[in-house]
Structure 1
Amino acid sequence: MSRDPERRQFADLIRDRRAELREGLTAFAAKAVDPVTGTKVTRGWIYRLETGEPVTPPAVEELRALAAAARLPLESLQDAAGAQFHGRDPLVSGSGESTAYVRKLDRLPADQRRRLLDLIDSLVPPDEG
């Protein structure tokens, strides 16, 4: 994992979401189970991620497990992990119009972003990854 503070998107997402859910590491890790393969993410790995210690980048099974625990769309975790571990900007491949929309989302409060995502998912269901 990069020690660059600019590349903590995934760690910040997991830590912040865990705080929103008001869950400790042990309870969160107990829910971090991939619904497809049963792959689990350990409490220790989550702790190291959140504290900035080196971790092995998560595979898709681990991303699904963390998405289940965080109750977030898999795509959100994939984008954050790609940014943190591979320096990939998920918006680079989008059209100019869609990129402009997405960049404005950060200005919305979290509850409004969630409602907007629910609306988009009702129109275009998310991929199962």
Structure 2
Amino acid sequence: MADELRELVKERRQTLGLSYQGLANAATVAAPAAAVSTGWLHRLETGEPVIAPSGPTLAALAAGLRLDAVRLREAAAAQFFGVRLPWAASGEAAEVAELVESLPERQRRALIDLIRIMAKDV
């Protein structure tokens, strides 16, 4: 079993400076119906067996981690079910998409325009 979700959650939680409790609280505030437990987070990050998260749990976790829910769903699908999108093999496309989304709108549009121009020259 791959560790895509485990690594993504652990890295992002640490980047945000959140404890397990802090992340669980942030996820619960974002989606009260989908509680994320500190025990589940700990087991996930330490590689212990965990039950695959539900869609609502992943959405809550994405909100708590301030990540796109699609990215978390893809990581969960890869880790728990071995499902990988062909473009995500290197992880670069997902990283580029996340970086583009983090740009201010004006810069994002300029970058997309540049990519379109460069793609025409290929």
After TM superposition, the score normalised by the length of structure 1 is: 0.69
Q: Which residue of 1 aligns with 2:99?
A: 115
Q: Once the two structures are superposed, what CA deviation does each residue of 1:38-86 show, in whole Å capped at 9, x if it has no partner?
A: 2111000000000011100000010011001100010000000000000
Q: Which residue of 2 aligns with 1:127?
A: none
2:51 pairs with 1:56? yes
Matched ranges for 1:1-129 at <5 A: 2=1, 7-33=2-28, 35=30, 38-91=33-86, 99=87, 103-105=91-93, 114-118=98-102
SS of corresponding position for 1:39: coil
Q: Once the two structures are superposed, what CA deviation does each residue of 1:2-58 show, in whole Å capped at 9, x if it has no partner?
A: 4xxxx0000000000001101111111111227456211100000000001110000
Q: Give the helix-richer structure, 1 or 2.
A: 2
Which 5+ residue runs of structure 1 have no aligned equivalent?
92-98, 124-129
SS of corresponding position for 1:66: helix
Question: For the pair shown, which has the larger CA radius of gyration, 1 or 2?
Answer: 2
Aligned residues: CA RMSD:
2.7
After TM superposition, the score normalised by the length of structure 2 is: 0.73
How many residue pairs are counted as aligned between the two chains?
105
Which 5+ residue runs of structure 2 have no aligned equivalent?
110-122
Q: Once the two structures are superposed, what CA deviation does each residue of 1:93-119 show, in whole Å capped at 9, x if it has no partner?
A: xxxxxx38x75447x7xxx76431346
